[in-house]
Amino acid sequence: MSQFRPQTADIAFTLEHVVGYPGIAKLPGFEHADLDTVVDLLEQCGEFMAQVVAPTNRAGDVQGARRESDGTVVTSPGFKEAYGQYVETGWGAVPLPEEFGGGDFPHTVGLAIQELMSTANVAFALCPLLTQGAIEALLHYGSDELKQRYLPKMVSGEWTGSMNLTEPHAGSDVGALTTRAVKRDDGSYAITGQKIYITYGDHDMAEQIVHLVLARLPGAPAGTKGISCFIVPKFLVNDDGSLGERNGVSALSLEHKLGIHGSPTCVLDYDGATGYLVGEENRGMQIMFVMMNTARVSVGMQAVGVSERAYQQSLDYAQTRRQGRAIGATERDSAIIDFPDVRRMLLTQKTYLAAARRLMLLNAVYVDQSTHNPDAAVRTRADEIAGLLTPICKAFGSDLGNELTSLALQIHGGMGFIEETGAAQHYRDVRIMAIYEGTNGIQAADLVGRKLGVRGGDSALEFLATMRGILAELADAGAEFDSIRHGLDAQLGALDTATDWMLRTGRADPNAVLSGSVPYLRMWGLCVGGWLLARSALAGAAAGDPQQAETQLVMARFYAQQLLPACAGLLGAATAGSSDLFALDVAQLSGAERSKVSSQR
């Protein structure tokens, strides 16, 4: 199994030349986060992840977290020690507020750190990611008392956080949850119920876990309108900040999973546990969406990280595995990297990874603009674009994760199907990412049901017009950019057609729009990726590095000619409507309908 090589060079190129990070460093509050400082910071972070975190990846898969007979949860070998060093070096605090001990760096920098950590060990990375989501919720909605009590040690990483939404009968339908919260005389609440699929719901890496739990108050409205959010700590916190007695929350069991074995996924039981209301009553979903929107882009970046690790391993294997004789070869056998189909799979991985990385970082840049730009109009527009891109980041990124880790396994041939090589781990680890934080079908529904209709569709149409603006630049750049320009022009046309159909059809037939939403989201991902790679190709030519320029140009050309055309192929599925999807009843779907011959007997 190959070692992880930090992908900081492409991250740095993307930040400087593609997504506009230098403009973020000029915003008020980010003066200390200039590009040179950030690149140096990311290089140090990459070294830490490669040396400390990456070696735990395989052990986490082979010997996952376990629950002992006394109910305690023990993480995989090396996790606790690596997490201790992670806290000591302060990587988790980099993008968090200085007020609570953070580094006050932009969100974009934090997302780049998440990629490096996910590439090193995604099962490990899930713990800091969820902690950061809990921190975001408290920053937006927590009282001053809750912030002062919990945030300093959560920002430092000494305490971790978890999200508690799902129940055995309430998965994506969060409004069906039944966990109860009853107010006590002292202002706290008694939380009773059971939650499942709680990532890092219990573990031994930190002394305290701060659970954010959705529960329902007596007499609350039905559905999502009657859900409130509560902090429920593993240990109660004394007035002096020290840890007190154990709270009434325990891990009943750990889930046995396809992948991410190093991450303890718990069934948690709340038996009258003491909780504290976050924000207002019955506003829990609004609070939880702060966590989930941040997490959704992070999940897309997780998939990029795992796919990068799989790509690096398949690239190494392709250079050392010798079999058959390539055309023109003089030796008895050739490295399989010399065969065209292996080259196709490698370049598909590399190019899609570059496109997805740029998409995630672009989203992060818009998030930073939406929170720190002094111009209110710029903040509003940036927030619109970040909202539009968020479901695309999560779904397109995690769908690619499934496809790219599969290609990496394919390059290994039969050895990819053998666990000892480690190629299968990436394939298994990434599979959950299309499911959690809202399935990709939910992301597509969000895109067509909420984001596409912003300002009557004008928000999305303006972004499409922005992407079309690059066509003139490509035309001026010379003949070697022609295939990129023609490919992008044609596929943006297909996306325009699909978008027009979605906007015309949505109100009259929402089921038809939802039926085409998944292929439609894929069309968006493909086009935004092609646009960003075209920007990369133009920037590479102007950067003064011939090798870098060639790399960016070849990737953009390969994408435009061989990957982007799938966009037009999805147009029919995106606009087909719902009639055929519902034409067959359950008996017909199962093949159980009786034949005419048998019915006549």
Active site residues: 437
Those residues whose C-beta lies under 8 Å from the C-beta of residue 340, and which sit 6 or more positions away, are none
Question: Which residues share a beta bridge with 269?
Answer: 194, 250
* Nearest partner of 513 among 583, 586, 434, 451, judged by Cα: 451
Residue in the block written with tokens 């672009």: 362
Place of tokens 């609004």: 286
Following DSSP, what letter does each residue of 202-213 receive, concatenated? S-SSSSEEEEEE
| One-letter identity of residue 313 | Q
Q: Contact at 8 Å (CB) between 227 and 176?
A: no
Question: CA dihedral defined by 265, 266, 267, 272, rounded to 10 degrees?
Answer: -140
468: left (phi over 0), alpha (psi -120 to 50) or beta: alpha
Dihedral, CA of residue 137, residue 524, residue 112 and residue 434, to nearest 10: 70
SS3 assignment for 10-59? HHHHHHHHCCCHHHHCCCCCCCCCCHHHHHHHHHHHHHHHHHHHHHHHHH
Q: What is the largest CA-CA distance in the chain?
A: 85
Pick from 246, 160, 169: nearest CA to 199: 160
Contacting residues for 26 by C-beta, under 8 A, at least 6 apart: none
User: Can you give the C-alpha Rg of the chain in angstroms?
Assistant: 25
Q: Which two tokens stand for residue 601?
A: 């007997």
Cβ atoms 217, 282 nearer than 8 A: yes
Residue whose token pair is 């998440």 = 114
